[in-house]
Amino acid sequence: MAVTIKDVALLANVAPSTVSRVIADNPRISEETKQKVKKAMEQLGYHPNFNARNLASQSTHALGLVMPSSKDVGFQNPFFPTVLQGISEGAQEKNYALHMTTGKSEKEVLEAVVQMVQGKRVDGVVLLSSKVEDQLISYLKEREFPFVLIGKPYRDIEEITHVDNDNFRAAKEVTEYLIDYGHRKVGFIGGSLELVVTVDRLNGYKQALVNAGIVINEDYIVQEEFLREGGQEAVRELMALEQPPTALVVADDFMALGVLNTLDELGIKVPDDISIVSFNNVLLAEMAKPPLTSVDINIFQLGYQASKNLIQSIENKNEPTKRLIISHQLVERSSCSEPNS
């Protein structure tokens, strides 16, 4: 049975109207009373319904966007503004508003999603990343709440609507591209192995090496955050090896920018001394020195298809689960050449 304002009032030993005023953050209520009511709400698991006016239609006409945690990583990486543009366009076509949430930790993000769902602030949720052990997916599935994932779920693929690229294939292709140039010492700089996208790209890279008869060198594989600083730390580690790689697959353009900066500091020239291929094909890739060869993953379409298909599942409860694969293509620029030795 659902917890009501009356239940909260009884536990806090206040009038129901006082609970309502606390929810509305009425300045006439003392801080002591507010804390007492909030403690009762937390104890009972009560979440205010901020969209009660929409009860007649049972719809908020809003989508929740869940940014990944890890401080402000999501706001620094150019991937996210572009994917948000796609989500926004898909939502606007159906007159849906967007409600974005994030947090400094996974716990904070989960709590924010619980508030959105139980407070009935949104009709569905778009998850902008996929983890190997994903509490958000588990929670939303348990609640049978509409959601779409940008990325591939680690498990239950057939049960979750998701929009993704074929990251295994894309990483395999770019590694083969470097091998075709004559590179045998190919390194990999990726994000956290908790992220499914990193796992898929790493596995594609490894498969290309195996197919070419190249022994996988674990020293050539480094994981860091999808940030410029992550790329800087990773390439310093790789270049310090006795036999450093002559080519790199970098799983993100923003990381690749850090790689380029550090290589320049070390006096290592791209592509004369080392070749680089990265992912996402954001504007930074084109503006980099030298301009980066990068995999265009059609970021805008990832976002657009996510919101479009989420709204379809909200408006039609019988909408089937979908796996939408967005095409990718390699954009060749000036960061690759044959090895010089």
Domain locations in the chain?
57-165+300-328, 167-296
Q: Does domain 57-165+300-328 have CATH number 3.40.50.2300?
A: yes
Q: Please list the rounded mean pLDDT of every run of 10 residues in the chain (341 residues).
A: 86 90 81 91 81 57 85 68 95 92 84 90 93 89 95 88 97 98 96 90 98 97 78 90 97 91 95 97 94 98 98 93 96 96 70
* Fold matches, 57-165+300-328 and 167-296: yes
Q: In the CATH hierarchy, which top-level class contains the domain 167-296? A: alpha beta
| 325 contacts 166 by C-beta, under 8 angstroms | yes
Q: What is the pLDDT of residues 65-81, one digit of tens each?
A: 998 775 545 567 889 89
Residue-wise pLDDT tens digits, 127-186: 998 888 889 999 999 999 999 999 999 887 889 999 999 999 999 999 999 999 999 999
Q: What is the pTM for the complete model shown? A: 0.81
